[in-house]
A = this chain, B = another copy of it.
Amino acid sequence: MRIKLINPNTTQRMTDSMARCAREIAAPGTEIIAVSPTMGPPSIEGYYDEAVASLGLLAEVEAGEKQGIDGYVIACFGDPALYAARELARGPVIGIAEAAMHAASVIAPGFSVVTTLQRTCNMAWHLAERYGMTRFCKNVRATDVAVLELDEPGSAARQTIIDECRRALDEDGSDAIVLGCAGMAEFCREVEQAIGAPVVEGVTAAVKWAEALVALKLNTAKRGDYARPLAKRYDGVLSDFSPR
């Protein structure tokens, strides 16, 4: 099966890192097509970044439909344009926050999300609400680490994150951690070992969820909201995006 993992920001080095994590966890027989758009924000740290990034992301989904993709992973913790992507896709589309929260809710009575900037905390709360996960999500904690610092060599980012995860377990009544940024995928196991409690990371979780849904032959429902966009001609420089 072919799973397309779309990093909606343009930072190829993050895409490469996610692709490595995805391929490591994928079942034999699963092909991971990992892409990022060539246009848009290099990192997504707010609603405006997210809105602009949606364009490139949706172009990749539409392209995927022609590539015979079986399922999609949206690899940014804000799960941008998730519903719009579902309108385009025949197969399942899953966000990494969605997959991570589902997984955490199965293995623990409560979890904390540990994320990057303070201004993205409400975005995580909105997602928890959208997926019905507020009853499991005990807290969302910012570390004030910028997304692109995460994989800078010699950065203190990892230790900062580990420290915040420990505080989450001690203070929030949580029993597991959800890492709130796709850029944290590569050091998930390292954090888990440091804190001695389950750490859920969305990229890998979403790949396995997508594989499961494809194996179950569960495609996106096309009766209602997620039906194909109505065919119409878009105007001006966006006419290439017209749904057909």
- Rounded to whole angstroms, the CA-CA distance of A152 and B133 in the bound complex is 39
- Rounded to whole angstroms, the CA-CA distance of A81 and B48 in the bound complex is 8
B234 and A39 within 8 A (CB): yes
Asked if A54 is at the interface of the complex by the 8 Å CB criterion, the answer is yes
User: What's the minimum C-beta distance from A86 to chain B, rounded to whole angstroms?
Assistant: 8
Select from chain B the residue with minimum beta-carbon distance to A120: B225
Asked if A169 is at the interface of the complex by the 8 Å CB criterion, the answer is yes
- Rounded to whole angstroms, the CA-CA distance of A173 and B121 in the bound complex is 10
Q: Mark A3-15, 1 if CB is under 8 A from B, else 0.
A: 0000000100000
Asked if A187 is at the interface of the complex by the 8 Å CB criterion, the answer is no
Q: Mark A55-94, 1 if CB is under 8 A from B, else 0.
A: 1101000000000000000000000010110111000101
User: What's the minimum C-beta distance from A38 to chain B, rounded to whole angstroms?
Assistant: 5
A207-243 contacts to B (CB < 8 Å): 208-209, 211-213, 215-227, 229-230, 232-239, 241, 243
Which of B39, B134, B215 is the one whose CB lies under 8 Å from A238? B39
**List of B residues within 8 angstroms of A224 by Cβ:** 108-110, 118-119, 122, 173, 175
- Rounded to whole angstroms, the CA-CA distance of A27 and B25 in the bound complex is 14
Within the oligomer, what is the number of copies of this chain?
Answer: 6
User: What's the minimum C-beta distance from A210 to chain B, rounded to whole angstroms?
Assistant: 9
Tell whether A92 pairs with B106 under 8 Å between CB atoms, given A169-B223, A227-B119. Answer: yes
A236 and B39 within 8 A (CB): yes
**List of B residues within 8 angstroms of A47 by Cβ:** 81, 83-84, 86-87, 225
Asked if A17 is at the interface of the complex by the 8 Å CB criterion, the answer is no
**List of B residues within 8 angstroms of A215 by Cβ:** 25, 27, 208
A40 and B216 within 8 A (CB): no
- Rounded to whole angstroms, the CA-CA distance of A219 and B52 in the bound complex is 24
- Rounded to whole angstroms, the CA-CA distance of A54 and B238 in the bound complex is 11
List 24 contacting pairs A-B, 8 Å CB cutoff, sorted by A.
A10-B235, A37-B236, A40-B236, A42-B234, A45-B229, A47-B81, A47-B83, A48-B58, A48-B88, A49-B243, A51-B51, A51-B81, A51-B84, A52-B238, A106-B213, A108-B224, A119-B227, A132-B134, A173-B224, A175-B223, A198-B219, A200-B218, A208-B211, A209-B212
